[in-house]
Amino acid sequence: MSLPPLDGRGGVIRIVFGGYSITDSTKERAARLNHRAKLRESLMEQTTFAPATVPDALRAIYAPIAAQLAEVEELLREELQSDHPFVDQLVKHGFHLGGKRLRPALVLLSGLAAGKTERAQVVLGAAVELIHTATLIHDDVLDEATLRRHLDTVNARWDNEASVLLGDYLLAHALCLTSSLGDLYAVRELSNSSRTICDGELRQIESRGKFDLREDQYVAIVGRKTAELLACCCRLGAHCAGGEAKIHAALDRYGHQLGIAFQIADDVLDLLGDEKTVGKSLGTDLAKQKFTLPLIRLLDQVSTRERPELLALLTASDNHRREALRPWFARFDAIEYARHNAEKFARRAAEELQRLPPSPARDSLAELTRFVVQRKQ
């Protein structure tokens, strides 16, 4: 936060920081200077870079690329800093929101499974994590979410303006980092994927409130807004490793199927998960009338006689839709249907790995297909 300079005349200056205000006068000058010093000291204490806390279930899966993943973390620590205290605080808070490091792991595991790991994969791992974090920060604005990774979202702690600009900042930083490799393919892939993600989000906005949204339309949306980045991670890792085109194509398909499975599982968590366990705001899909697979299935199965009652619940303005809808999900097996489909896409992802030679990295990629559908956060 940039603090205003003294006016030199003992005049009144109003300073606002995080809801705290001070009135400056000649007599209060010393007290205000002391406050500013303490404020800066406090700010610096809050801007230390905290590495991601990878869930225990993933540590064994990431074992083949643990050293390279640590390099990604170190690179992020080096890159995510600013000489301006407010920008530095925002950037570091954004990365306190990071968690599983799934996307950098996919770059590294795909590269290793395709033949080898290179320093370029570390750089690209950091870049995809920057892009992912940018999308999360923007998502929190769209969903009006207040909690992520058990912390305040950027928009909750500051405001939407800071969130939008921070997301843009991270996206631009990712492309700058990628361009430092001098690899036109990598720049093109990340740029195209970023555009595809935005395209998917725009399609989802257009689909809000559409009670006749079909399952195939839903899959097309999540294929763009979620699965595309995971597939891009796999393509980038394989590209850096060289090797056969058929292996690259198999990893691309693996990432796409894995991404769809991941999103369906995430949709179920949004409906049934516990905020204390998941660590983020839940129920936002219902609040924004985003029709996820469990809802699409429920709307498809409900009788004509009961449909008006269900629609009334879905369009209600209160905050208890999740609780009110749970009996409906149970009665029509909508949650089990969604879980079954998540497992179906995960199996398809695992099948693609059979085209790769056996290796610990391939085994880890296979384990990820189980993790994404069984996770609790």
pLDDT in the model for residue 146: 67
pLDDT in the model for residue 37: 42
Q: Which residues pair with 148 in a beta bridge?
A: 151
CB 131 within 8 A of CB 185: no
pLDDT in the model for residue 180: 93
CB 154 within 8 A of CB 166: yes
pLDDT in the model for residue 119: 93
Whole-model pTM: value is 0.80
Structure tokens belonging to residue 338: 């969604």
pLDDT along the chain (377 residues), means of 10: 38 34 42 43 41 74 94 87 78 71 95 93 95 81 65 70 81 91 95 94 86 91 95 96 92 98 90 57 64 90 90 75 83 92 97 96 96 82
Q: State pLDDT tens for residues 74-86.
A: 898 888 877 788 7
pLDDT in the model for residue 52: 55
pLDDT in the model for residue 274: 57
Q: Which residues pair with 23 in a beta bridge?
A: 14
Q: What are the helix (H) ranges across the chain?
A: 29-45, 56-59, 66-79, 85-96, 102-114, 119-143, 154-157, 160-179, 184-207, 215-222, 228-241, 245-272, 275-278, 284-287, 293-301, 307-314, 321-331, 334-352, 360-374
125 burial (CB, 10 Å; 0-12 / 13-18 / 19+) is: buried
- The residues, any chain, with a CB within 8 Å of residue 165's CB and separated by 6 or more, are none
Distance of CA 157 to the CA centre of its chain: 18
pLDDT in the model for residue 194: 94
Q: Which domains does the chain have, with CATH numbers?
A: 1-45 (no CATH), 46-374 (1.10.600.10)
CB 141 within 8 A of CB 163: yes
Structure tokens belonging to residue 21: 């205000």
pLDDT in the model for residue 149: 56
Structure tokens belonging to residue 260: 């769809």
pLDDT in the model for residue 208: 82
Query: Which bin fits 4, alpha (ψ -120 to 50), beta or left (φ > 0)?
Result: beta
